[in-house]
Amino acid sequence: MNLDAIRGLSQPDQRTCGPTSLVAAHLLLDPAYAATQNPKVFATAVVALHRELTAPSAFGRAQLPWPRALGTPPWAAARAMASFTGLPYRTRVVRLGGRSDDFDAVASAVTDGYPVPLYVGSAWLPRHVVLAVGPTAEGVDLYDPAHGRISELTRAAFEAGELTTTRQWHHPWFVIAPGRRPGAPGGTRGA
């Protein structure tokens, strides 16, 4: 994946971290789509996707309507990723005792070339969506749409619930990862 395609692209407003991460994933996955983008078109694509993700129907399936002011519902992010990749994506709730398995799902997917949206937040609420985009020696590269930066998220930080790369949002809440993938032994566990 060409990470330079998304480096520097940031969310157009305070509520669009989810669709910004998803448009960034689409850019990484589809070179033809990436060729149509520039910063102005990117912002328009993000706002349009946000409308779709919070509508009563998204990607051809009915869903509960969701107030745009609350951001992006995880199930809609999973549908968007499935649409971009052709693979079923599942929402995994990150559990305190299961963070190692959850990180394995993220690392496996990005190693295979599939971006993974992560919902992060405070100890009480999910508040921000970031995108795991590639493997590193100690973890994964993480795109933060708030600033358009890519930095490393280590396995140790994820498992400890101390995600210092996402500013004030330190706790992982949801992982939106592919389910079974061709060629992956057993695929990843969906929730």
pLDDT tens profile 21-47: 999 999 999 999 999 888 889 999 999
Tokens of 91: 């929402």
**pLDDT tens-digit readout, 133-182:** 999 999 999 999 999 999 999 999 999 988 877 778 889 999 999 986 55
Amino acid type, 75 = W
Q: What is the pLDDT, as a whole number, of residue 173?
A: 94
pLDDT mean over 63-83:
84
In the predicted model, is pLDDT for residue 80 greater than 90? yes
Helix (H) or strand (E) holding 102: helix 99-111
- What is the C-alpha separation between 121 and 111, in angstroms, rounded? 25
